[in-house]
Amino acid sequence: MPDTNPLDDPAADPFAIATAAAADIARLTGVERHDIALTLGSGWGRAAELVGETIATIAATDVTGFSAPALEGHVGTLRSVLTPRGKRVLVIGARTHFYEGHGPRRVVHSVRTAAASGARTMVLTNGAGGINPHWKPGQPVLISDHINLTGASPLEGATFIDLTDLYTMRLRDLARTIDPSLDEGVYCQFRGPQYETPAEVQMAKTIGGHIVGMSTALEAIAARQAGMEVLGFSLITNMAAGIQTTPLSHQEVIEAGREAEPVISDLLARVIGAL
């Protein structure tokens, strides 16, 4: 099937396409508006199951502007979930990564669509490498801030957006009321898809990073542009290259995610329940 996407037309307005996508979601799920959006990263795939009752599950490819999933473990569905306290959560299991090479518009389309469907809170999760040597694979940490090392931005033209308190203290504090042991750190988004060299991990550490990954920062920028409040979680699935001495494997990442599943599922459900 040819890969055509309206976002690839430079003359197209990505916000108009997000509005069309939100209308698709309302029609296909039967849920007109959502309060919260949740993007599921590596290891978090089943973590949404305790968040509430799934009202509808739709294929992302049936929604305007969404791309087919690039990778196993990245589920290409969108779900409308109803929490016990009556909040509507749009669960995005269809992340497009910057390393896929389709540009930032496609990367942040799910975020803009969530905003267009009414969401005021964006919860971004990912699987990532840990630079902090005290962290263990399978441990979730809060994202306190990010360093965008992609050289890219979802903002087009002279769009100056303030990123002070991007991952708001308010939401991090709220998460810590659920689990006071949650640690936090600065997330460095690399382009990928290769993992870092040990020298690149040392660079990230030197410039103030604690977590290395390939997502989230561009999405958080777009969320803030859309006026959303952002909460970010990294599941540390591996120690970053050179912090651990053995080579990194995708299999290791999947296994750490599987083992962490019950703990992070419970955490995520309780945090979202408290939003």
Q: Per CB under 6 A, which region of 21-29, 67-75, 83-91, 126-134 contacts ligand 8IG? A: 126-134
Binding status of residue 192 toward ligand 8IG by CB under 6 A: yes
> By the 8 A CB rule, do 77 and 94 touch?
yes
The sign of the dihedral angle between the CA atoms of 84, 87, 90, 91 is: negative
* Residue-wise DSSP of 219-270: HHHHHHHTT-EEEEEEEEEEEPBTTBSSPP-HHHHHHHHHHHHHHHHHHHHH
Q: Which of 58, 108, 212, 218 binds ligand 8IG (CB under 6 A)?
A: 212
Q: Which of residues 215-254 bind ligand 8IG (CB under 6 A)?
A: 237-238, 240, 248, 253
Taking the complex as a whole, how short is the minimal distance between the CB of residue 239 and ligand 8IG, in angstroms?
8
For 177, the token pair is 């009321």
Task: List, in order, residues 6 or more apart from 47 with CB less than 8 Å away.
Answer: 40, 125, 261, 264, 265, 267, 268, 269
184 part of the active site: no
Stretch that binds ligand 8IG, among 61-69, 78-86, 178-186, 210-218 (CB under 6 A): 210-218
Give, as ranges, the residues between 29 and 58 that touch ligand 8IG (CB under 6 A).
42
Structure tokens at 233: 């979680």
**List 196, 200, 229, 261, catalytic entry:** 196
Was 95 annotated as part of a binding site?
A: yes
Give Cα 34 to chain centroid, integer Å.
Answer: 17
SS3 call for 2: coil
Q: Contact 83/51 with Cβ under 8 angstroms? A: yes
CB 230 within 8 A of CB 172: no
| Cα–Cα distance for residue pair 186/211, rounded to 1 Å | 6
In the complex, least distance from residue 180 CB atom to ligand 8IG, rounded to whole angstroms: 25
Confirm or deny that 109 is annotated as ligand binding: no
Residue 80 annotated as binding site: no
Determine, following the binding rule CB under 6 A, whether residue 17 of this chain makes contact with ligand 8IG.
Answer: no
Task: Check the annotation: does 113 bind a ligand.
Answer: no
Q: Using CB under 6 A, which of the segments 59-67, 72-80, 158-166, 189-197 binds ligand 8IG?
A: 189-197
Is position 195 an interface residue for ligand 8IG (rule: CB under 6 A)? yes
Q: Does 213 bind ligand 8IG (CB under 6 A)?
A: yes
Residues forming the active site: 196
Binding residues for a purine D-ribonucleoside: 196, 238
Binding site for ligand 8IG (CB under 6 A): 42, 127-129, 190, 192, 195-196, 212-214, 237-238, 240, 248, 253
Annotated binding site for phosphate: 42, 74, 95-97, 127, 215
